[in-house]
Every structure is written in structure tokens, then in C-alpha cells.
Amino acid sequence: MTTAGTPHTREQLDQDYQRWSTAAAAVLAKGRRVDPADLPDTPEALLSTPTRDDVTVRPLYTRKDENSERGLPGSFPFVRGADPQRDVHQGWRVTERFGDLLGQSAADLNEAILEAAGNGASGVWLAAAGDAELATILADIYLDLLPVTLDAGADGIAAAEQFLRVLADRPAPPQEAPAMASTTHSLGLSPYTAAFSGRATVAVEAAVALAVNAPERVRTFRVDGTDFAQSGATNAQEIGLLVAAGLAHVRDLVAAGRTPVQALGQITFAVSVGDDQFASIAKLRALRLMWARVAQVLGAPDAGAALTHAVTDLSMLTQRDPWVNMLRTTVAAFGAGVGGADQVTVLGYDAALPLSARSSKASFSARIARNTQLLLLEESNVGRVLDPAGGSWFVEDLTTDLAAAGWKVFTDVERLGGYTEALSSIRTWIDEALAARDAAVADRSAPITGVSEFPNLGEAAFAEALADTTDVPTATAGLARVARRFEQLRDRADAATVRPSVLLLPLGSVAEHNGRTTFVANLLAAGGIEAVNPGPVTADTVAQVATGAGTIAVLCGTKARYAQDGPAVLAAARAAGIDRVLMAGPDKEWPDGGDAPDGSLRVGIDAVATLTELLDTITAQAGE
């Protein structure tokens, strides 16, 4: 490659890339046991990965992908951040959610907020009814330092008016902290996005009337991307619809007599962040780029800084093996922080479970969620640099591509007449995206650790089926968790009187069958089915291990072992009363001629459909 410090001409860069391509082709050809000239495509194409948005992630990014600078944080086009003066010692605001627990009084909530603030929380996301005692809840809290975001559903107007009175009546602090993007209060009204998800909300007209007279440092509208993300929207769909809904609010405000600058100053965005850290980083940057473009078209480019509150995606959290959610939310929080979110909320590791089904105290879950961010801020120093991913060839390219994909969604909405006119089409688009995501989860090309991969059958069963529940804080009626279809199978298997099981018939030595017995056991466990492994069998021992083992078995061996022993063991299994015999691996590995297994368990099958059918058979045979 070109020596560091030497000039890079286009010709040199092309030569460097060609050398890499030749070397990569040789490696790929060796793995496929073909000549490099016989590869079906270029190494770059073979090693590239498409995202759910049809954005291509290439295997290598070089100086050839270098683009011009995006500008400084806090300046148009705001890709690098909304705030040029963010305190690098503080970083983003660690915004904790309060008010979801039943039976908490206003005094209890105040105590919880003050305790959290004393332990590192620097923002408040408050679920509150219209008659909540906000003066008591927010007593002794420095509202110039801790931004408050309200979530009051249908009581949003009453809660907002009460909050504004609390602000107006609050005595001025001895030294008021300077206003920053990250300390902006949000009244949390999101009528347009809630119209999609079905969340309780307020009338648009009432929200506009409130926004017209909102004081400084307070923004009325919270355009909420989690309404789309929880229903299965892709990243590009979420940010495209955020911009479309945000623009609808701006138009309403301009129609009510506000200038574009004033209207833009009444919008904040809630953005879901998931366990793909680079996608989360690029998503936040792309949203800011898109919103800046909207402001530019409105003639107010300097007012186009999108204020963002990143929330870890509820739909990515699992009910089974929920401890793994700590890893998911850590990656999501890292992506949010590096992506320049002004506030970040990490949901508890058990947030996908109803309150009554959680095994940990709420204080423990909240502390872990808070400390996830504090470790990133105070020990990893992630917040010390604004836009640390800026200049990365990969991140810059991904930002551009995601913004283009999101802009297409936005312009499609505009062509249909704007956000409200396009709602039915939006539902169709997201339904299609959800179906594609579910298909990838079902065939395990999108694996879920602890659920579809490495499930723990030893977990305590839930008292009732919970996979489809939306009875959890922050959930919308359309919540479609990524893991739900596998967890439905687990709920069903746990409800059986006896754990459903399938007999394995390993062939040959452990070295020969171990890979496939492990694969099959893992696959079956994803559906709550236990794999019974008696160790290596022969045609002479099948009858012994089959006694009382049910009527489904899976042969596990190598292609050579199938050719040598498979037909005899298959015949012995059928003679022993096993009605259905499957094989591990591709069907083509079974020797030609004679009887053949009744199907195969292999990489790439629709695991959900296969496991559902196996459970149907097992439970029917058991008479349950």
C-alpha cells in the first residue's frame, strides 16, 4: 500500500485497491476451491453486506472514499452535532425515565429523581398524568441543568401547562447555566407519530396553540421515531418518517403565524438506537443532515440543528435470557453517544417484560441502565470528543447512503401529499419491512443470542405466555419485538406438561457427529424442544435408545458416515417405531437409492416454521 505521508494520486489509490482485490480474490478462490477467474463476482461484491435499507456495506474503505469536511459541530449542515458548546466533561445527558411504577407518590418520584441525579443521571424523562403534582415531583431539581421530557399521553396538554407554570414559578438560580441543546426541555407532544402507532396523544390543534406561546428553552413537539421502530421500520424509514412528521409540525406552526425559525425551534426528535453500533452512529448523523436540508429549503439553514434524544430500541430486547440485553443496550448507548445524541436513555435490561414478571428490583435495573452510560462517559471517555467518528471513510459513506435512503422515504411521503395523507401507505411500507425482518430472524441469518442462538432451556418458565405482550412501559400497540416468534414457541413448549423432546441418533465418533449434534440441539432449544443425545448409535442399538424416546429422531453424522451407516440406522429406527426420521445437513448428502429421511435440519431453513411443525407433531402425539 502507499506509504503514509506520501502523496496519494488517484492512480496510486486505484493500484493499491487492485492489489487488495487480487489478494482477496486469491483467498476467496482458495476457500471455494476454484480458480480466481472462476469466482462469480468481484471480491468487493462477494464480501459486501446489504442492510435492511438496501445500503451496501463494503468490506474495505480507503482514501478513495474520502469526502470533503462536513463542517464543525453546531454549524450547517449539523452532521457533526447540534451543539458547538457541548461540555466535553459532561458529554451527552444521561436521561433516566421515571413514573412507570405503580403506586409511586409525587414525593416518591421526587426522591427517586434526586437520588438518580446524585448518582449520575443528568436528564429526566417523566411519565406523568395531567393531574400529577409536578411542583412536588420536580422540587429541588435544577431545571437549568437537568432537562425534562414529559410523556403524558392524552393528558399531554394539562401536564405541559402545569410544567410551564412550574418553570415560571421557579426562583431564578444564583447563577443560571447557559442554554445548550442538551438542556432543552421537551413537552413531549407527538400527535403525528402517535397517530401511526396508536399511542394515546393530544389533538394537533391544541398542541400547536401551546407551541405558539412556548417560552425559551422549551420545545413542544417530540417527533418520536420509536413509534415506527417498534413496528419494524428500518433505519431509513424511521429517519425519513421523522423528517416528514417534523415538517408537518413546522407547516402547522407557520400556518399559525410562526416564522420558519420559530417553528423549527419547537421540534425535538426521539430516535431509536439498536445493537448495530455503526448503523446507530450513521442514523443520528443522517437525520441531522436531512433536517438541516429541510431548514435550508425553508430559508432558515442556521435553525436546522436537530435536537435528538436517543432511546435504546425496545423491540431489540428479549424476554428470554434478558441479561444479554445489557450487552445490546451497551452497544446501542455507545452508538448513540458517538453519533452525537444530545440525550440518551438506556432502557432496563428487563424492559421487555411486564412489571409483574420482572425478577429484579426496579432500582437494580435502573442502576445498571444508568451505569451503562456512566461507564462509557467517565471511564471510556466516549463523550470527550465531539463526533469522534467524523472523517471515518466507512461512517461518512454510511451516513451519506443512509441519508439518501431516508430522503427517498421522505420524498415518497411528500409525493403522496404529506405525512397525514400518506399514513396508510406508511403502514404498508413498515409492514413489508417487518415481514422481511421476520424472515431473516426465522432463518437465523439475523441471529438473536440467547433466543435463536445459544438458548438456555434451563431458564425458569413464565407463569403465562408473554411473547406478544405490549403491556410494558414505553411500548406501543404495534410493538413487534425481534425475538417474539421464537419466544412464542418457548412459551408454548414451557406450557406443555412434559418438556417436548426429540431423539438424536449420532453416527460415528464424537469428532464426526459433534458439530451436527450441537447444531441440532441448539436449533431445537430455540423452540423449547430438548434434544436427547444418547451418544453414538448403530443399527443394532437404535431399538434400545428409541424405547420411550418419542416418535421423532434426527440422524447426525458426516456425508461419508451417512453413506456407510445411514440406511441401516434409518431402517432400524423405523423398525423401532420412530415415525419420523430427519437428518442433520443438506439432503444431497444422503446416499442415492432406497429409503431416505423425512426431511433435513440445516443452515438456512425457516427455523420458526420447522420448529412450529415439530411442536405441532409432538404435542398432538402427547394428546396435549
Confidence of residue 175 (pLDDT cuts 50, 70, 90): confident
Percent of residues, the chain, with pLDDT higher than 70? 98
Residue 557 counted as domain residue: yes
Parent domain of 256: 93-350+359-380
Q: Which residues make Cβ contacts (< 8 Å) with residue 10, sequence separation at least 6?
A: 64
Confidence of residue 300 (pLDDT cuts 50, 70, 90): very high
Residue 308 counted as domain residue: yes
Would you give the end-to-end CA distance of the chain in angstroms? 66
Q: Give how many domains the chain has, as a whole number.
A: 2
Q: Which grid cell is 497? A: 406438561
C-alpha angle 281/283/284, rounded to 5°?
Answer: 75
pLDDT at 242 over 50: yes
Residue 206 counted as domain residue: yes
| Coil, strand or helix at 310 | strand
Distances (CA, A) of 108 to 98, 129, 137, 169, 418: 10, 15, 8, 22, 44
pLDDT at 535 over 60: yes
pLDDT of residue 7: 57
Q: Which residues make Cβ contacts (< 8 Å) with residue 503, sequence separation at least 6?
A: 532, 534, 545, 546, 549, 550, 552, 553, 554, 578
189-220 residue pLDDT tens: 999 999 999 999 999 999 999 999 999 899 99
Residue 597 counted as domain residue: yes
The per-residue pLDDT of the chain, averaged, comes to: 94
Find the CATH number of the domain harbouring 333. 3.20.20.240
pLDDT of residue 110: 97
Q: Which grid cell is 232? A: 419494524
The single-letter code of the amino acid at 127 is A
Other C-beta atoms closer than 10 Å to the C-beta of 189 total 31
- Taking residues 386-415, report their average pLDDT: 96
Q: Compute φ and ψ for 149, nearest 5 degrees.
A: -120, 125
342-351 residue pLDDT tens: 999 999 999 9
Q: Which residues make Cβ contacts (< 8 Å) with residue 411, sequence separation at least 6?
A: none
pLDDT of residue 550: 79
State CA 259 to chain mean position distance: 36
Q: Which grid cell is 523? A: 436449533
Other C-beta atoms closer than 10 Å to the C-beta of 232 total 23
Confidence of residue 170 (pLDDT cuts 50, 70, 90): confident
Confidence of residue 6 (pLDDT cuts 50, 70, 90): low
Residue 48 counted as domain residue: no
Residue 138 counted as domain residue: yes
459-500 residue pLDDT tens: 999 989 999 999 999 999 999 999 999 999 999 999 998 999
Q: Which grid cell is 17? A: 485497491
303-313 residue pLDDT tens: 999 999 999 99
Verify that 164 and 296 share a domain, yes or no: yes
pTM: 0.94
Confidence of residue 12 (pLDDT cuts 50, 70, 90): confident
The single-letter code of the amino acid at 231 is S
In DSSP notation, 521-548 reads HHHHHTTTPEEE------TTTHHHHHTT
pLDDT at 410 over 90: yes
Strands of 530-532's sheet in order across: 530-532, 501-506, 552-556, 580-584, 600-601
The kind and range of the H/E element at 382 are none
Q: Which grid cell is 108? A: 416518591
519-529 residue pLDDT tens: 999 999 999 99
Distances (CA, A) of 368 to 126, 325, 327, 350, 371: 19, 11, 11, 11, 5
DSSP code of 87? -
Q: Which grid cell is 453? A: 442462538
Find the CATH number of the domain harbouring 601. 3.40.50.280
For residues 448 and 322, what is the distance between their CA atoms, to the nearest angstrom?
11
Burial class (CB in 10 A: 0-12, 13-18, 19+), 21: middle
Residue 579 counted as domain residue: yes
For residues 437 and 445, what is the distance between their CA atoms, to the nearest angstrom?
10
pLDDT of residue 1: 36
Q: Which residues make Cβ contacts (< 8 Å) with residue 7, sequence separation at least 6?
A: none
pLDDT of residue 69: 83
- Cβ 483 vs Cβ 320: under 8 Å: yes
For residues 191 and 188, what is the distance between their CA atoms, to the nearest angstrom?
10
Q: Which residues make Cβ contacts (< 8 Å) with residue 303, sequence separation at least 6?
A: 260, 261, 264, 265, 295
Pick from 495, 485, 471, 562: nearest CA to 526 = 485
The kind and range of the H/E element at 124 are strand 123-127
pLDDT of residue 4: 44
Residue 25 counted as domain residue: no
pLDDT of residue 347: 98
Verify that 364 and 510 share a domain, yes or no: no
pLDDT at 375 over 60: yes
pLDDT of residue 13: 85
